[in-house]
Structure 1
Amino acid sequence: MDSKTVDVMKWLEENKEDFVPPVCNKCMFSNQLKLFFVGGPNSRDDYHLEEGEEFFYQQTGDMVLKVIERGQPRDIRINEGEVFLLPSRVEHSPQRFANTVGFVLERARENTEFDCVRYFVKSSTVRLFERWFHLNDVVRDLPPLIQAFRSSEECRNGIPGPKSFLINAPYEAAATDLSKPMNLQNFIEKHKEATRLVTKNAPVQIYGPPSYSTNVLLYGEGEHILEVNEFELIIWIMVGNFSAYFIFYFFFVLLGLSSRLLCGSQHFSHYSIRLFASPQISPNITCGFGYCLKSFISS
């Protein structure tokens, strides 16, 4: 079975040199689901457009996600500990600062899907330059397109020119209202009673249908059967004391204080998870049992 468990804090420490310029990012998982951590500072004036959704979480420090919402610029500040799900087909430009790290989760593109790197005339939403492409690897595919703009006549003059638009846009940006980021720990505290009632045996939805195609679900104490079907599954064990058994045809045992991520292959249709309070933990600690954040992204 193709699966992997990662201690996030240890992994970040081992790869810390990748989260500062000029690299600023490192991919943890890159199959059907792509999960990469991003540091800073960066300097970006390009906007990205894609047909899938993106899930953001700020591990350390804050970031600003510049977007075009219904034709108007908007800055969405994602603070440390907050999550945000960006809908598909929204022009966005992540702005990251020094000594910050966050992760972004997105899905692989279908062969028929296109991404776009887009630039606007300064202080406006008039399109200056754009390139449509099929994205396979964000780290490899984006830099040449950004460099193409920086060496272009359109960049030098600041006005659209003959090479601004090489093809007709395959689709237009979505006209949608964007939600605010939410503090994940506050969400867990608010819903902890719901997650610890094993008899309900149901997760709490953080994001999902009908507003989104991405399902982000919060699981608490108990045993859960999670169906993967043809999609990969990423399980995130939140920071805190916990014991957790992941049962496939074999099982993992995860113990500790740090956050962990597990990516399961799409080759198995389902598996069960057993989450329970560690006997070493005081029963007065309300979040002593394992919180599990399960996220899978469909097309």
Structure 2
Amino acid sequence: MYPSVRGRCSCSRPRIPHSPQRQANTVGLVVERRRLPSEIDCLRYYVENSTDVLFERWFPCKDLGTQLVPVIKEFFSSEQYRTGKPSKDEPLRQPPFQLNGMHVMKPFVFREWVEKHHPELAGGRPVNVFGAQFETETALYGPGETEKSRHDTDIWIWQLEGSSQVTMDGQPFSLSARDSLLIPGQSEYQWQRSEGCVALYVRQNPERKSAYF
């Protein structure tokens, strides 16, 4: 278990069971990866103090906010919840992919990481936050310009320091510190970043998607 406190961030690896515990009166930012129609998710409960599966449901996930609630309600009204034991009438299915055995990333202080990379950003070179092995591309950008581009997937820009201007489908958007902008897939955009700019760029890149193993 890794506690994530204010100002820390991490990237969840694919195919690793995880259970984020959010405390009352806290706010966190989660960027979910878009699922393909062929992919499915699993909500799973375990027998107390063990790794034995108590209850699980597999489903194609399009909207976590609406799809999880019915499954959670089903669990709390189930025999498994009442007895704390798996049901013989509901044999567990074979997972459609092999679970990932790599270590979970330990959360790090994002602000300290950004400050460490200020020299590279000031030189106009973007810095990859989590590496190039994930489908979700996360990078910091400093001063410079991104020429007219168009991608199939959405892009999210979060202005951390300084300012920048995005022209999207001919419409200009000025970003100051703490502003954010969503660029829908298939939109043409151009991004001009002023001196002192530090911005977080998040985009799904299906070309970097790893096959199940």
Name the TM-score, length of structure 1 as normaliser. Answer: 0.64
Alpha-carbon distance, 1:292 to partner: 0.7
Gaps in structure 1 of 5+ consecutive residues: 1-74, 278-288
Name the TM-score, length of structure 2 as normaliser. Answer: 0.88
Q: Is the 8 A contact 1:131 1:165 kept in 2?
A: no
State yes or no: 1:143 paired with 2:63: no
Alpha-carbon distance, 1:243 to partner: 2.6
**One-letter amino acid matched to 1:245:** Q
Residue 88 of structure 1: aligned partner: 14
1:214 aligned residue (136, 139, 148): 136
Runs (4 or more) in structure 1 with deviation over 3 Å come to 163-168, 225-228
CA 1:194/1:171 → structure 2, altered by over 3 Å: closer, same or farther? same
Residue 62 of structure 1: aligned partner: none
Which whole-Å CA distance do the structure 2 matches of 1:223 and 1:87 have between them? 31
Q: Is the 8 A contact 1:107 1:298 kept in 2?
A: no
**One-letter amino acid matched to 2:140:** L
1:184 aligned residue (103, 110, 115): 110
Alpha-carbon distance, 1:109 to partner: 1.6
Residue 205 of structure 1: aligned partner: 128
Which whole-Å CA distance do the structure 1 matches of 2:43 and 2:194 have between them? 45
Which whole-Å CA distance do the structure 1 matches of 2:109 and 2:93 have between them? 41
State yes or no: 1:234 paired with 2:153: no
Deviations 1:50-107 (A, max 9, x none): xxxxxxxxxxxxxxxxxxxxxxxxx111121111100111111111112210111112
Alpha-carbon distance, 1:144 to partner: 0.9
Which whole-Å CA distance do the structure 2 matches of 1:178 and 1:195 have between them? 27
Residue 252 of structure 1: aligned partner: 173
Which whole-Å CA distance do the structure 2 matches of 1:208 and 1:230 have between them? 21
Residue 267 of structure 1: aligned partner: 186
Q: Is the 8 A contact 2:33 2:136 kept in 1?
A: no
Aligned-residue identity in percent: 32
Which secondary structure does the structure 2 equivalent of 1:231 belong to?
coil
Q: Is the 8 A contact 1:235 1:261 kept in 2?
A: yes
2:194 aligned residue (276, 279, 294): 276
CA 1:144/1:166 → structure 2, altered by over 3 Å: closer, same or farther? farther
1:297 aligned residue (201, 204, 213): 204
Q: How is 1:24-39 mapped onto 2 (pairs within 5 angstroms)?
A: none
Residue 110 of structure 1: aligned partner: 36
Q: How is 1:49-60 mapped onto 2 (pairs within 5 angstroms)?
A: none
Give the length in aligned residue pairs.
Answer: 205
Q: How is 1:154-193 mapped onto 2 (pairs within 5 angstroms)?
A: 154-165=80-91, 167-193=93-119
**One-letter amino acid matched to 2:127:** V
What is the root-mean-square deviation in Å for CA atoms of aligned residues?
Answer: 1.9
**One-letter amino acid matched to 1:275:** R
Gaps in structure 2 of 5+ consecutive residues: 207-213
Q: Is the 8 A contact 1:216 1:294 kept in 2?
A: yes
Q: Is the 8 A contact 1:131 1:166 kept in 2?
A: no
